[in-house]
Structures are given as C-alpha cells and as structure tokens.
Amino acid sequence: MGKESIMELRQLRYFVVLAKELNFTRAAEKLFVSQPPLSLQIANLEQELGSKLFYRTSRSVELSEAGKIFMTHCQAILDRLDQACDHVKQVEKGLEGQVQIGLSGSHFMGPLPYFIGEFRAARPRVEIILREMKPADHLRSLYDGGVDISVLRNPSEHPDLSAQLLWRDPVMAVLPLNHRLAKKRKIHLSDLRDESMVLLHPESSAYAQSIFDACVAEGFVPRVAQNVIEMPAMVNWVAAGLGVALAPASLAHIRKGEIVFRGLVDTTLTGDVYAMIRQHNNQPAVHAFLDALTTWAKGSALKKICGA
C-alpha cells in the first residue's frame, strides 16, 4: 500500500507539471526525468481514471475537459500536501504548538510578562496559556500534565522533573516608610524578631515554609499579624501599616513610594525563580519556549527590567 501511494503522488506531480507546460520535453526536464517514464506515468494515470487527460498531436499537447477538472483537484491536493509538510516542519522546529505554564501571582509582577510578550511576537503561531495557581498545586499539575512548565521559587528534586534557574531574586525586608529600620540599607533577619509580620501561609508552598523556618533558625517564631496566599497581598498589607514582610526583590516596584525594601545580611533566604519541566516532555514548542526563556534570562534585557 505504501509503494502504491508513492506512485499515485508521483503521477499527480507529473500530471500537474505537464498540464502547466503542455510539452512533454519541457515537463520531463522540469521533473528531472526522461520523456519515456513521464509518458508511461501519464498513460497509467489515464488508464486508472478511465479518461483521456490530454489530447496529443505531433505538434501540441492540450488538456481535455476531464484533464482541466482533474488539474483543479490535483493542484488543490498538492497545495494541501505542501501546507501539511510546512505545518509539520513548523511544529518540529517549535514555531507552532501550545505551551501551558503554571505560575503564581507574584510572577505576573516580575520580568516574566516582558519575555512572554517578546516570545509571542517572535513566534505568533505558538499559543501561550498561563495557568495561575497556588504554588502548592504546581507540581501536581506538572506531574499530571496539566501544565508543561512550572515557574516557581523552590524546585522539586523529583527524578522525573528537571529544574532550570531563570534568575536570582533575593528575599528582602519590606517595611513601612516610617519604620525604625527603614533608614538602614541592610538589616539582619533577627532585627524583625519583635515585629508584627505579614507572611504567606507556611503550607502554601515550600518557599513560604522556608521563610518561616529561617525566622525560627534565627531564634524567633514570627509574630503573625496576617497570613496571605499571594505575595502581592503581603506588600499591600505592609503599605497599609499592618506589619512588615519578607518578599522577593522583584516586587519592589509595587506600592513604590509607600514602602521600602531593604536587603538582608547573614541569611541564605532566596526567592530565586526556576522553571521546571517533565524529563520526558518531547513537545518542540515547550522546549523552544524554555530555551528562549533561559537565554533571555541571562541577557541584558532582564537586568534592565529588574534595575540591576
């Protein structure tokens, strides 16, 4: 069956070229074959169809009425086949497809939207679907195939997943403008020992738990004024005077002029951003997106956006 299909396709191509040239010699030259094989294929095609496709004389070749109709269908078939081949190539090169990305609210505030805008402009046939979800739900969705890439701050070490560092995002203290520590350029985590704090629910993510654990390691249990689910809410509560917080530096532009971000010393706390993907994800568009994101994250565009 496969060989027969190849012959049929060759016959169609031979027929279309001859129908355009209306000359066996020129058609054979364009097809890079000698004239006898061309004549044989056309004769076989006519025999299979049971209809004359060409009128031949010693001086000319003309399409029959049946040949004119057949030409319309053949050209459409070959055009569609060319489109299919092009489509396959686009998908294989990662120029077409779909990428589903799991991310949390804080990532809408960082540099990621800038990259997505550039990527969509460069590859408009790749559909980017953003799925906002709680950090704790990311890995489950990644395992289940609900998302292709998960953007998060504490990567899993599961053997079926791989993590790629995108950019550094140091954790900083978030303080009201009139706070006693606001005049310092950097502070110690222990300086917040007696402060009312706005914290993420520790069970909401590994990152949130790491914040709580870091405070305990410094010898104090945070005095929680409010627990929230998303980081932008923390910053807003600090601006409202409810307490202080610990948040990634990428959120420093939120409520600018109402709060201050101050660096921490003597701490291993980090809010670095990673992209995680299933080890055996073979979707070209997904890998094209991740490769482009990784390259972009190392470039000057990111530094400009982050003010570095």
Supply the DSSP string of 143-191, one letter for each residue: HHTS-SEEEESS----TTEEEEEEE--BEEEEEETT-TTTT-SEEEGGG
Q: pLDDT tens for residues 105-159?
A: 778 877 888 899 999 999 999 999 999 887 778 888 888 888 999 998 888 888 8
Residues with Cβ within 8 Å of residue 276, at least 6 apart in sequence: 138, 139, 142, 149, 150, 151, 152, 155, 156, 161, 162, 163, 164
Q: What is the mean pLDDT of the chain?
A: 87
Q: Count CB atoms within 10 A of the CB of residue 268.
A: 9
Q: pLDDT tens for residues 176-219?
A: 999 999 999 999 999 999 999 999 988 878 888 999 999 999 99
d(CA 255, CA 234): 11
d(CA 180, CA 167): 31
Type of residue at 73: H
Residues with Cβ within 8 Å of residue 75, at least 6 apart in sequence: 16
Question: Three-state DSSP class for 87?
Answer: helix
d(CA 197, CA 245): 5
What is the token pair recorded at 303?
């530094």
Supply the DSSP string of 236-253, one letter for each residue: HHHHTTS-EEEEEGGGTT
pLDDT band, very low/low/confident/very high, at 302 (cuts 50, 70, 90): low
pTM for the whole structure: 0.72
Mean pLDDT of 66-89: 91
